[in-house]
A and B are shown apart, each in its own frame.
Chain A
Amino acid sequence: MILSSPFTASVAHHYEMPLSLRSFTSLNRALLSSSSPSSLLLRRSSLVPTMAASTTTTVSSTDAAPQLNQSTPSPPPVQVAKRLEKFKTTIFTQMSSLAIKHNAINLGQGFPNFDGPDFVKDAAIEAIKAGKNQYARGYGVPDLNSAIASRFQKDTGLIVDPEKEVTVTSGCTEAIAATILGLVNPGDEVVLFAPFYDSYEAVLSMAGANIKCITLRPPDFAVPLEELKSVVSANTKAIMINTPHNPTGKMFTREELEFIAQLCKENDVLVFTDEVYDKLSFEMDHISMASLPGMFNRTVTLNSLGKTFSLTGWKIGWAVAPPHLTWGVRQAHSFLTFATSTPMQFAAATALQTSDSYYEELKRDYLAKKAILVEGLEAVGFVVYPSSGTYFVVVDHTPFGFENDVAFCEHLIEEVGVVAIPTSVFYLNPEEGKNLVRFTFCKDEATLRGAVERMKHKLRKR
């Protein structure tokens, strides 16, 4: 057969080498300016207007590392696609390289510094030994599709067909990309809640969507219902939800979900819901939009293995959706990556079949870590917003007297030796995030305590 098939939020990544040698403060300027002159040279062919959202932050050619070989002729003008206007070099890369330089404790990157459970790793090892090293079925190894369907049923009460309603992807990041590229047309209106995980905006602009953004505000980041209602119409294609929410830790309440559901049913709108942190729900029960009456048929539920099983580098994610939506997701997926890592899929099936005690222990561990971080941050003098889920906490840094989040984070790395993420990158309008920074507690307790100690001793109000 021809190799085609029918049918997280991952937040930080660790680059061992910096991608750019630009200083952090110039990044600051690039992030906060609303537009910068484009160094993309225009081709002589006609320009096709882009339908991306109106805020522009362009990638300048100085983002790239300088060529080491000076004698090669200068390359042709960078003729990259206009969709790249939304694709900045990510903040996480910049922060990670600065962190290394200053030997800072990294509470910015959203992945654990401890490893996944042995029983899952052993399953991957067995799969490799047993020769499961060739292309898997494009939309997932049958065992994994079944395990995902079973887990979904336990979690939501919904019975889904593993063959027709489950698609396995390279991480939830790819599930998001496949969902948007498979289901959204250029010009379609999509509602997004800010702050948002950075791939949503980027991929929506790749799809040429028209983004309508609703900002969630402290202290409780509640959904502004009337504002949402005013933005949703018969022209709306989809609403994107992330619950539990990165970066704020907010969890969408039943009332909020029911309100959104009502709007969707009235206006025939789809929901794309990213639920990678569903097992890290602490202050309330996680509710899946798909489980609300009348919603399964218009919802794509996205999830992954990485956060729940501390194996973020395995890249096993999935989308659960009714067949008519799954079709689009699978189409896009088959041309994005074609198939997902085979041995890891077998191991993921084993992981998902584990008993509930695993999840209970996971929660207990994370609650303990959260307590260390939150108590520490409060003692140091931050305004700490309550986080109901995920392994993130956002805080207001303004008591320390810095003009914005990027400046604060820079200071925190250089003078205190701790990394946090400036949240302005998670907003369409960076100004809206300038008072907030995000810390993560997916680190071992010693690391968390170490970071808190550093802040207690070295972080001073200006």
Chain B
Amino acid sequence: MEGKVSRASRKLEASPIQELSQLAQTCGAINLAEGFPDFPAPPHLKAAALSAITADFNQYRHVQGICHLLATQMKGRHGIAVNALSDFVICCGQSEAFAASIFAIVDPGDEVLLFDPAYETYESCILLAGGIPVYVPLSPPDWSFKKDELMKYFTSRTKALVLNSPHNPTGKVFTRDELETISEACKIMECFAITDEVYEYITYDRELHISLASLPGMQERTIITSSLSKTFSVTGWRIGWACAPANIASAIRNIHVKITDSAPAPFQEAALTALQSPPDYYCSLRTEYEARRDYVVQILSVLGFQVRFKPKGSVFIFAELPDHCELSDIEFVKKLIEKAGVAAVPGCGFFHTTPQPQDGEKYQRRYIRFAFCKSGETLSAARQKMEQCVNEDGQLSF
């Protein structure tokens, strides 16, 4: 009865990632693969959730206050004026906000542009909606793209462009110049932009996240998606949102209502507390993550990884294997788990394009993604374990 599975979901295969994560579990490896924290959520947030449950905020809800707080933030940080009454859809995580947005605007046959490497879930949503993902490659080592090249990927069937910034897996933060290029293209081709801004508060070196919707002519065609998860270390609460002009938000809302109908009620209440966190909170968040980034960049460099691009945002570092290493990324991660007891993610799963000649053929099998949203103890322990497997040059070698 395998024939009973829908064609769309059959296209979505189990990735080698699953096998590696099984292996990591079996070996009890330190997990620098998963993009969620192993340190506790902020106490003031947990307290708010507990109060909500006790105070009986447990039935279907839409907590309008969240929208007002988000609207204020958007105005303050990005200068985007949105209507709190009509422009927001509160969803079960950014995951659902993105899925609902795709289903709201993508028809079978529509093309959707994505920058490559890309978080793999975007493509799956697009395929499920009958759309066609089209990848725009970012070139290593700094993951840039050429202005004049971008337009070549648009066709008359392009419905939308997906922008994830700060970017998973590379840690790139798209610059104003790049955003201007993207916005010009979207305006000329009259297409939507869907942004994934979940790492919006996690940027480094005084780099600021710029929201694409804040550029001239973009608000009217941009769907912003984000969530509490990464900013507040509550990835398991499933509180996210989509923000778009009222007509489009209405369409997204209508889909959302049929997919889950409501985000978990007590956590919506707690979101009110989260979104009223003082500026200090966001400062510490950035400072602490920056320290972790610096630590991990340093360790990996000492161990022989080529860190030619220091992440400017997100909780990931996309490091290239040492020059001398002949293993592929998957083989390397397998050894890393088995011999060093540390798990990371092979980069190949994020790439979907054929490499450009100028970028060399093999780079897509040469990257490993490490997550540093982990406690100091965890990162330190990971370092110690990897140091057990170095050769006489002090480089990680299997």
A positions within 8 Å CB-CB of B: 1-4, 6-7, 10, 12-17, 19, 44-46, 48, 50, 59, 61, 63-69, 72-73, 75-76, 78-84, 87-90, 111-113, 115-116, 121, 124-125, 128-129, 131-136, 170-171, 173-174, 177, 181-186, 198-199, 202-203, 206-208, 237, 270, 297-298, 310-315, 324-325, 327-328, 331-332, 334-344
Is B325 interfacial (CB-CB < 8 Å)?
Answer: no
B53 touches A80 (CB 8 A): no
Q: How many A-B residue pairs have CB under 8 A?
A: 326
Is B136 interfacial (CB-CB < 8 Å)?
Answer: no
Closest to B50 in A: A125
Q: Which 4 A-B pairs have the closest CB atoms?
A: A313-B265, A342-B236, A1-B21, A87-B254
A185 touches B7 (CB 8 A): yes
Closest to B38 in A: A134
A324 touches B247 (CB 8 A): no
Distance in angstroms between the alpha carbons of A61 and B247 in the assembled complex: 6
Distance in angstroms between the alpha carbons of A17 and B110 in the assembled complex: 34
Distance in angstroms between the alpha carbons of A3 and B236 in the assembled complex: 13
A173 touches B259 (CB 8 A): yes
Closest to A338 in B: B95
Number of residues in B with C-beta < 8 Å to the partner?
103
B62 touches A14 (CB 8 A): yes
Cβ contacts under 8 Å, B221 to chain A: 75-76
Is B125 interfacial (CB-CB < 8 Å)?
Answer: yes
B83 touches A68 (CB 8 A): yes
B107 touches A82 (CB 8 A): yes
Cβ contacts under 8 Å, B247 to chain A: 61, 64, 75, 78, 80
Cβ contacts under 8 Å, B245 to chain A: 67, 75
Can you report 9 residue pairs joining A to B where beta carbons are below 8 Å apart?
Answer: A89-B250, A124-B266, A171-B260, A298-B4, A312-B59, A339-B93, A339-B235, A339-B238, A341-B92
Cβ contacts under 8 Å, A4 to chain B: 15, 17-18, 120-121, 124
B90 CB to nearest chain A CB (Å)? 11
A67 touches B83 (CB 8 A): yes
A184 touches B105 (CB 8 A): no
A174: contacting residue among B61, B83, B259, CB under 8 A: B259
Distance in angstroms between the alpha carbons of A135 and B236 in the assembled complex: 4
Cβ contacts under 8 Å, B124 to chain A: 4, 331, 334-335
Q: Looking at A14, A17, A183, A315, which has the most chain B CB atoms within 10 Å of its CB?
A: A315
Query: Looking at the complex, which of B29-37, B278-286, B359-367 is the stretch in contact with chain A?
Result: B29-37
A313 touches B18 (CB 8 A): no
Q: Looking at A90, A131, A133, A327, which has the most chain B CB atoms within 10 Å of its CB?
A: A133
Is B99 interfacial (CB-CB < 8 Å)?
Answer: yes
Closest to B56 in A: A115
B238: contacting residue among A45, A78, A115, A341, CB under 8 A: A341
Cβ contacts under 8 Å, B219 to chain A: 72
B42 CB to nearest chain A CB (Å)? 10
B102 CB to nearest chain A CB (Å)? 9
Cβ contacts under 8 Å, A129 to chain B: 46, 50
